[in-house]
Chains A and B, each alone.
Chain A
Amino acid sequence: MAHFEKANSLNEWLDQRLAVNTLQRVLQTEYWIPKNINFLWAMGMVLAITFGILLVSGIFLLMYYQPNVDTAFDSVNYTIMREVGFGWLWRHVHAVAASVVFLIIYIHMFTGIYYGSYKKGREIIWISGMLLFVAFSAEAFSGYMLPWGQMSYWAGMVITNLFSAGSLELNGVVEWIRGDYVPAQAFLTRFFMLHVLLIPLAILALIGVHFGALRIPHVNNQDGEEFDFDVEAEKYKAGDKKSSKVIAFANDFLSKDMFVVAVYLVFFFYLVFWNYGFAMDPVNFDPADGLKTPAHIYPEWYFLWSYEILRPFSKDIGLIAFAFAQVIFVLLPFLDRSPNAVPARRRGLFFIWFWLMLIDMIALTAMGKLPPEGIYSTIGLVAAVAFILLWIALPIITMFEKKV
């Protein structure tokens, strides 16, 4: 039996049993964040808050949603939207957050790429982040199935067909994933399970890894400057906060972080109350019909760039290009051969690469939304080829980069 002294306060009592003071010190008051950062460093917190919003709104939707092919559509569009008090609020919050979370993920990603925050010890942060992107994509897709409208059904049909791997004709695999020849009851129930349990569990675990991977290499800064966090922390603790290059995570950094979060939430709730339409495709307000394909099938905006990479090629080449686009970002820390972990503007050719990649992905997104005809097809093809060429060029241009 361990020995415990009589505690003089609730805090002491808890500290004896749970080491709450040590936890607070390690996780907050003595977790050090560089000073030389900007608002883009708040995107992680914005994402965490958005994930929290998705979780809470999802819990309320879960109370009335029915994962049944006959009742799913009405449980969303009638029960939740018209009968449940404030049901519309949870639905619009959930739909808008699911869309906006990808916008923030892309900003977070491209911030990391610009400032070189994926190399020199930060590889696991990058890889776990890209795995989170995959998990969020799967979460978005499985959630898109649930209202069981026309877009749900046909997106389900098209995306599960990808697993037949083109000319390999692995129809058995596709039918195994669906549990039927076509998306039907078995399909809806299993994607419901994935959406509300298995994928959220994976996301939580990955967030744990993502945060944990930050502790040893620490947060990057605006100049990619390398410094000794222990030395700077000692300065801060000794009272020399002015010349120290770091601040404490809480409350110093957190107060600035939450300011950005607050600005973001104003924008977020503006969308929820006045401009939620972009997150709700009108075609999905028609119930699923397995015998009628909608005139135009396109994914949500955040998948358009990879969809556009699939589209202009013949089936097998399209699938290979698509698979390439899905995995290539994970390999970024290893394809970038340069020794420099500094902002792109100081890296010569890489700076041009960064902006070309960003513009190319915006072009792919725009073309993915337009019908595959005439000039749009051509621009889409050029942008898709450019995407692949840019990745092939990356190891070459970074290999010749001079040490700064």
Chain B
Amino acid sequence: MENESRRGFMGKAFGAVSGVGAVASLYAMKRSWDPLPSVAAAGFTTVDLASAEPNALVVEKWRGKPIFILKKTPEMVAAQTEEATARDVIVGGENFLIAIGLCTHLGCIPSYRKDSSDFLCACHGGKFDSSGIDTQLPPPSPLVIPPFKIDGTTVVLGEEGPEYAKMKESGLIA
């Protein structure tokens, strides 16, 4: 009886110590899978929009992701809905689409079709208009607008400026 309680105590003590060890190791393993600090810190891209051509898609790279930048023609701006205009980034008096160029379904890169001024995703057939708003399933939501800050005719991606904050407030950015 005395022996059994001593073994029971040893068992519980071992269980407790190994439990702490197991949790600590799991934490270490989780942290080892985290993105490296150098990867996480990499991340502000500055783009000068002064020389952008209308209705010609420019693709920049930010944090390894493609960023679509599209200067709209006055006809395109006139034709679009208010909802679409609210998503425009105004730089130097011109309307721009700035969005992460990954389909919101599963992350393929849609291609821009100049003639119909829309985006078609080849993976699963999704479509977005020139403001990045989803017009055909399966994508569930518009193209994501990355954090940006306007500085004269340049845009800094990765930094949250007042225009971005305003879009966020009005619920354009989830």
Contacts and interface: CB of A to CB of B under 8 A. Distances in A.
Contacts of B110: 293
Contact of A161 (B107, B138, B139): B107
Given A179-B35, A179-B36, A293-B109, A315 B139 contact: yes
Given A181-B63, A186-B39, A297 B108 contact: yes
Interface size on B, as a range, is: 20 to 34
Given A314-B137, A314-B140, A372-B124, A182 B64 contact: yes
B109 A182 contact: no
A216 interface: no
Contacts of A290: 61, 64-66
A311 B61 CA distance: 28
A369 to B, nearest CB: 14
Given A290-B66, A295-B122, A158 B59 contact: no
Given A180-B35, A182-B65, A290-B66, A373 B125 contact: yes
A172 B109 CA distance: 20
A377 B61 CA distance: 33
Of A180, A314, A315, A371, most buried by chain B (CB within 10 Å of CB) is A315
B105 interface: yes
Interface in B94-151: 104-111, 121-125, 137-140
A297 B64 contact: no
A316 to B, nearest CB: 7
A373 B123 CA distance: 11
Interface string A154-186: 100110011000110100000111111110101
A158 B123 contact: yes
B39 A318 contact: no
A157 B140 contact: no
B122 A318 contact: no
A313 interface: yes
A162 B124 CA distance: 14
Interface size on A, as a range, is: 35 or more
B174 interface: yes
Interface in A373-389: 373, 377
B2 interface: no
A176 B137 CA distance: 28
Contact of A176 (B35, B61, B104): B35
Contact of A190 (B33, B64, B123): B33
Of B33, B107, B108, B122, most buried by chain A (CB within 10 Å of CB) is B107
Contact of B140 (A167, A178, A190, A295): A167
B157 to A, nearest CB: 12
A158 B108 contact: yes
B106 A291 contact: no
B109 A291 contact: yes
B34 interface: yes
A292 interface: yes
A154 B123 CA distance: 10
A294 interface: yes
A190 B107 CA distance: 21
A296 interface: yes
A158 B61 CA distance: 19
19 contacts: A157-B108, A158-B107, A161-B106, A176-B30, A176-B33, A176-B35, A180-B35, A186-B36, A291-B59, A291-B61, A293-B108, A296-B123, A297-B108, A311-B124, A313-B138, A314-B137, A314-B138, A371-B125, A372-B124
Minimum-distance CB pairs A-B, first 10: A182-B64, A293-B109, A315-B140, A161-B107, A181-B63, A293-B108, A372-B125, A158-B106, A181-B64, A297-B123
Interface of A: 154, 157-158, 161-162, 166-167, 169, 175-182, 184, 186, 190, 290-297, 311, 313-316, 318, 371-373, 377
Given A181-B35, A313-B138, A316-B140, 10 more contacts: A158-B106, A176-B33, A181-B63, A182-B63, A186-B35, A292-B109, A314-B137, A315-B139, A371-B125, A372-B124
